[in-house]
Amino acid sequence: MARRTITTLLGATIALLAASPAHATLVYNKASKNGLPKVFVADNDGTHAHRIGTGFQPAVSADGRWVAWIAGNNSNVVKLRLADRSRPARAVTRGSRIVATVQFSPNSKWLGIDAGTRLWIYNIHDRESVKAASGNLRGFSFSPDSASVAFGTAGHSPSFDSPTDLYRFDVATKNRTRITRDRKSLNPLWTPRGIIHDRQRLRDNEAPAYNLFEIQPDGGSLRRITSLRIPPLASGLVPMELSANGKRLLAEYEGQDIGVAFRVNPETGKAHVLGKFSEHGFVAGDLTANGRTVLGVTGGADPSRRHDVVTMPYRGGKAKVLVRRAFAPDWNL
């Protein structure tokens, strides 16, 4: 259920999980005529949907018990609720800027909150938060064992092309350790094989160009994955999710007015678009653990267009509609 710093759609509604958490795994948004989008939870095939709240950027925990979303009118309140709706939603944190994402740890015990210039790690059981990072964040990702979090930061500079590096934060000891010193690294995805991330190449009067690299948590064994030529008005691939066997990587090709899902072979670096490469193409949301199915939306990154929540085979093929007129999906498959 990975989420990256670069947001492809404005706002997101959560799908309300139905009675049985074992089957209620899908969360998504539906637009509202008045006010904030509606948050829903449903079975993983889109059936038995129920409303769980209102707000943006929904996420569901790996065990299917919890749903979190950004609920404030100014995107400054994060709420957390049991997916079965057995208890009212609780306000987790408030801030002046919740601009990017919320993300659960793999063990479902922590909730990471990107507050723009702060990274908070919230203990769901103890209801306490610890500040993992300060500065202008450039993505974050929990370690596979949930003990640490990797994050990118540009320090005090808010510029989109600022120098940025990766760090890791140990939740128990509260120690921060620098991973990279190249001033180019951002958008980490921490996997069992290493931390897949972007390295940016600065360009005159253009957005930085991204390609995918892999590095170990101790800063060693840097390896390039992709070598794409990135045209003007585009940034490149942002890593989103890796299959359990480490052989299938889901990424999002980001750029001005575009967000398109790509499949990437993490060994060879070969990358292929899922669906059509267009402003109205298939936008990735998540990858199943077995790497066979991609969750996402049709209609491209433009929030004003109609979107349907769909699945698509990782190898490409026809999309299957799960929920019509919905967007920003996440699931725990």
pLDDT over threshold 60, residue 287? yes
The torsion region of residue 154 among left (phi > 0), alpha (psi -120 to 50) and beta comes to: alpha
- For CA atoms 154, 200, 236, 292, the dihedral sign is negative
Residue in 232, 242, 192, 233 with CA at minimum distance from that of residue 212: 242
- CA separation for the pair 182, 220 (Å, rounded): 13
pLDDT band at 31 (very low <50, low <70, confident <90, very high): very high
134-161 pLDDT tens trace: 999 999 999 999 999 999 999 888 887 8
- Given a contact cutoff of 8 angstroms between Cβ atoms, the answer to whether 161 and 208 are in contact is yes
Residue 187 burial by CB count (10 A; 0-12/13-18/19+): exposed, middle or buried? buried
Output the pLDDT for position 94: 67
pLDDT over threshold 90, residue 1? no
Higher pLDDT among residues 75 and 117, named by residue = 117
Output the pLDDT for position 5: 36
Output the pLDDT for position 11: 36
41, β-bridge pairs = 27, 50
Q: Residue range 207-225: average pLDDT?
A: 97
Residue in 73, 121, 115 with CA at minimum distance from that of residue 96: 115
Give the position of tokens 């989109």. 160
Output the pLDDT for position 98: 58
Output the pLDDT for position 256: 84
The torsion region of residue 328 among left (phi > 0), alpha (psi -120 to 50) and beta comes to: left
pLDDT band at 17 (very low <50, low <70, confident <90, very high): very low
Q: Residue range 92-96: average pLDDT?
A: 71
The percentage of the chain sitting over the pLDDT mark of 90, rounded to a whole number, equals 74
233-262 pLDDT tens trace: 899 999 999 999 999 999 999 988 889 999
pLDDT over threshold 50, residue 30? yes
pLDDT band at 21 (very low <50, low <70, confident <90, very high): very low
Output the pLDDT for position 74: 63
pLDDT band at 279 (very low <50, low <70, confident <90, very high): confident
pLDDT band at 220 (very low <50, low <70, confident <90, very high): very high
Which helix (H) or strand (E) covers residue 255, if one does?
strand 249-255
**Reported pTM:** 0.90
Output the pLDDT for position 10: 36
Output the pLDDT for position 24: 56
Output the pLDDT for position 233: 87
Q: What is the largest distance, in Å, between two alpha-carbon atoms of the chain?
A: 54
pLDDT over threshold 80, residue 12? no
158-189 pLDDT tens trace: 887 899 999 999 999 999 999 999 999 999 99
Q: What is the mean pLDDT of the chain?
A: 89
